[in-house]
Every structure is written in C-alpha cells, then in structure tokens.
Amino acid sequence: MIIIKNGTLLDPASNRSGMYDILIDEDRIARIGACGSLDDMAAECVSMKLMENPAAGEELSEIDASGCIVAPGLVDCHVHFRDPGFTYKEDIETGARAAAKGGFTTVVMMGNTEPHMDNVATIKDVLERGSKTGIRVLTCGNVTKGMDGKELVDMDALMEAGAVLFTDDGKPVTDSEIMEKACIEAAKRNMIISLHEENPELITNNGINAGEVSEKLGITGSPREAEISMVKRDIEIAEKTGAEIVVQHISTSEAVDLIREARARGVKVHAEATPHHFTLTQDAVLKYGSLAKMNPPLRLESDRQAIIAGLQDGTIEMIATDHAPHSREEKQKELTQAPSGITGLETSLSLGIRELVNTGFLTMGDLIDRMSAGPARVYGLDAGRITEGGYADLVIFNSGEEWSFVQSVSKSSNTPFLGQRLPGKIYNTICRGKVVYFHG
Ligand SMILES: [Zn+2]
C-alpha cells in the first residue's frame, strides 16, 4: 500500500482541492482524508493483509508530498510512438517512459506507423506491448486504409480490437465524400474522428508559416488558409452528419473562432492545442531552425494569444503534445527537407505552468483540467480524476520548483526546450497504484 501525505490535492473533475492524504491499495484509491487522518487505517490495513497472507510481505510505503500538488495522472490523446516501423525514432517502451517522466498515465498513439493502425493485428500488437509499459498506452485506429484517404477501414473490427478514436493524423481526409461517409459511420458507433486540418493543395513547403519568416528564408511555407478551409469544411460535415470531431493541434485564430461559434450552435466539435503552439511563434524558426518546424506551423503572436484565449474559455478542451520524435540526422537536414514535429511529453506540464499559469491566463486547476479531465471527458476515457474506488493514476509535482531539462528519456531529443530550466518539477508519477516515475 502507498500513503501520500501532506500534498495539495487538485482534482478539477470533482472540484476538490486542498490538503489531503491519499491511501492507495493495489491499483485503486482506497481513501482520501484530511492530513494525518489515514495513518491508523493504513497501518490496520497493512497488518490485516499480512495476517491474511504473510508470504506477500505487504508493506506501507509513504510518499511525502509536502509543498507539492497531487493531480490526476495526465492524459495525452495525441502521441507518436513510431512503433511499428520507425523505432529508430521512438518505440512504445521509450515513449511510455517519456510519458511517465512528464506526468502522463494515459496516452493515445497516432497511426502513421508502418504498418498503419488500419488493421486488427497491428492494433492488438501495440496494445499488447503497451500494456507492459506501466502506463496506459491506448491507440487510435485509422479512418482510411493505408491513410490514403480513399477507402474506409473496418471501424467495427478496429473498435473491437481496442481503437479509442479514429484519425489519419499526419494527413487530413481531403476527399469530402469520404470524410462525410466516415463521419456517418463514426457517428453510428459513437466514435470521434480526430483531424489533422491542413489542405495539402495549398502547401508548397510544410512546417513553416507562410509569411514574414518564410519570406526571409526564401521558402513558400504553409498558409493559414490551409487550416482554416479544412476546419470550415469539417465543421459543416460534422453539423450535417451529427458526427463528433476533434480538430487536432489548432494553430490559427480563425480556426479557434470557427470552433467557438460552431460549439455555441451545438456542433459536436472539440479542439486540442499543443504546448508549442501556445508557447512559440514563427520567429522560433529563425532561432531553432528545424526544431521549430512542425505541422501545422507555429504562427503569429495573435494566433498564440487566440489559442490561449480558447484554452481559457474552454473552446479548446485539451492540451495534447503531438509528441513527434525524429532522429538527429533527420532534423539536421536542411529546413525544407527536415521532417516536421518535436517531442513534447517531458515538457508539456512545465510549459503549461510557465506560459499559462504563471502568466495568469489559467488557474492551475484549469491547466490540469485541459491536461487530464478534459481529454478524458471528450473521449470517454476512465482517467483524469481522483476518486475513492477509482484507479490510482496520479502525478505529484512542485509547480514552483525548477528543473533542468538536460537529457531526454525519449529515443529522440528534437525539442527546442532541451537545455532550458523549467518550472514544475515532477516527483512521482503513479499509474494503477504503481510508481512509474520518481525523482528524489
Ligand atoms: Zn498532426
């Protein structure tokens, strides 16, 4: 058993915050009580267990969470673990390790793997391997076979195999007819389609915003219209079909506005924002080169502010890292040739604290909501809350204490934040009652 003492519990899902102790038995939260009130109960439980089964050698371990926040284990519904197919960048085990270090206990993998997540065997394989990592590794299923945007997958089969959402992330579903068909089929099954919204027809060089910076670099870049037009189309399709959709990694103020308006008239559209889109602008490309190249690209300060406003008023319900590992060799290619994306699991909470909470835009409770309860709510996952009898998925961190991000536990370290000192030191990540990460 584990007793977590003297921490400040912060659980947006139940609206509970304050000083509490938490007693964990096996994989569940046995009791939440006032500080010091659970000691006798914990000792009694342990001695009873010992009497029942002395060979098991039950012990009570204590975690002192003084000065720390105890929050629900974080949930990230958008990670690329590159497994199978590209395991030189990341694999399920190293990805899960990076997630645990960043406070995450539940992640959903994207399906631009090789083979793709368009078939039962691959989904079963990654879930089987994910179940051995200590955290909850879930997966999407693709929308179309081979992510080629032409033929729908067998949704029932992929759902039965365990897919929790459908997406062709990395690519939009460009054909409107296919998109509409996918929405109708997903709606019948109460499943969400999560969308990478960039119209490739409008893009010559992806990953860099078309504008001042791309001009300075002498490249064409990716125009904001590429996102806006797709978001507009897919809101229309969602409205027409009654389907529920998620706009992934939103990057433009116009798209935030479109989603806010659509939600107000009852369209079932959700959005996620990445830490890099609420932290950086296109100027970062001049400083960090390919480490600031991502799809969709970093855009203007006014876009960054609109994304923060969206997170503030709940238009954007989820923070998702879009953790996208690439090898050093790949990222060292010239800007137009280097692949898009950065890693994000180890720095997401810290960037949220630095850019959203310490600046006064979000309360800590709202940040934790967007990083745990929010995504759990949208996708209907059993995660993102701290309740008696519920799973013991927790993160314990000191929001005021800084740490140095000197080494990544991911296989890749393609992030502009490497080497920085960041607020929000994580001491423990606990998943299903087991400590999956700790820092002394
Ligand atoms: Zn994407």
What digits encode the pLDDT tens for the residues 37-96?
999 999 999 999 999 999 988 999 999 999 999 999 999 999 999 999 999 999 999 999
Averaged pLDDT for residues 376-400: 98
pLDDT digits (tens, 9 = 90+) for 117-169: 999 999 999 999 999 999 999 999 999 999 999 999 999 999 999 999 999 99
**Residues 417, 423, 424, 427: what is their CA dihedral angle, to the nearest 10 degrees?**
80
Q: Which two tokens stand for residue 217?
A: 């670099």
Q: Report how far ligand 1's centroid is from the alpha carbon of 218 (Å).
A: 25
Q: Is residue 306 part of a domain?
A: yes
- Ligand-binding annotation for 112, yes or no, is yes
List the shell of residues around ion ligand 1, using CB closer than 5 Å: 169, 196
Rg of the chain, C-alpha, whole Å: 22
Q: Is residue 60 part of a domain?
A: no
- Ligand-binding annotation for 27, yes or no, is no
Closest CA to 119 of 185, 163, 80: 163
Averaged pLDDT for residues 333-352: 97
Q: What's the CA angle centered on 417, arms 413 and 422, to 5 degrees?
A: 125
Q: Is residue 368 part of a domain?
A: yes
- Ligand-binding annotation for 249, yes or no, is yes
- Ligand-binding annotation for 323, yes or no, is no
Q: Report how far ligand 1's centroid is from the alpha carbon of 172 (Å).
A: 9
Q: Is residue 160 part of a domain?
A: yes
The stretches of 252-381 forming alpha helices (DSSP H) are 253-264, 275-279, 284-288, 301-313, 328-331, 348-352, 364-368, 374-379
**Cα–Cα dist 285/346, whole Å:** 21
CATH number where 77 lies: 3.20.20.140
Q: Is residue 337 part of a domain?
A: yes
For the chain, the domain total comes to 1
Contact between residue 42 and residue 23 where contact means Cβ atoms under 8 Å apart: yes
Which active-site residues does the annotation give? 322
Q: Report how far ligand 1's centroid is from the alpha carbon of 83 (Å).
A: 16
Q: Report how far ligand 1's centroid is from the alpha carbon of 295 (Å).
A: 6
Res 440 pLDDT > 90: no
Q: What percent of the chain is modeled with pLDDT above 70?
A: 100
pLDDT digits (tens, 9 = 90+) for 235-292: 999 999 999 999 999 999 999 999 999 999 999 999 999 999 999 999 999 999 999 9
Contact between residue 12 and residue 365 where contact means Cβ atoms under 8 Å apart: yes
Q: Within 13 Å, how many C-alpha atoms sit on residue 5's CB side?
A: 14
- Ligand-binding annotation for 417, yes or no, is no
Q: Which domain holds residue 175?
A: 73-379
Strand order in the sheet with 244-247: 166-167, 192-195, 244-247, 269-273, 318-319
Q: Report how far ligand 1's centroid is from the alpha carbon of 127 (Å).
A: 21
Averaged pLDDT for residues 400-426: 97
Q: Report how far ligand 1's centroid is from the alpha carbon of 440 (Å).
A: 35
Q: Report how far ligand 1's centroid is from the alpha carbon of 197 (Å).
A: 8
Q: Is residue 208 part of a domain?
A: yes
Q: Is residue 246 part of a domain?
A: yes
Q: Is residue 45 part of a domain?
A: no
Position 73 scores a pLDDT of 98
- Ligand-binding annotation for 40, yes or no, is no
Q: Report how far ligand 1's centroid is from the alpha carbon of 251 (Å).
A: 11
Distance of CA 413 to the CA centre of its chain: 18
- Ligand-binding annotation for 322, yes or no, is yes
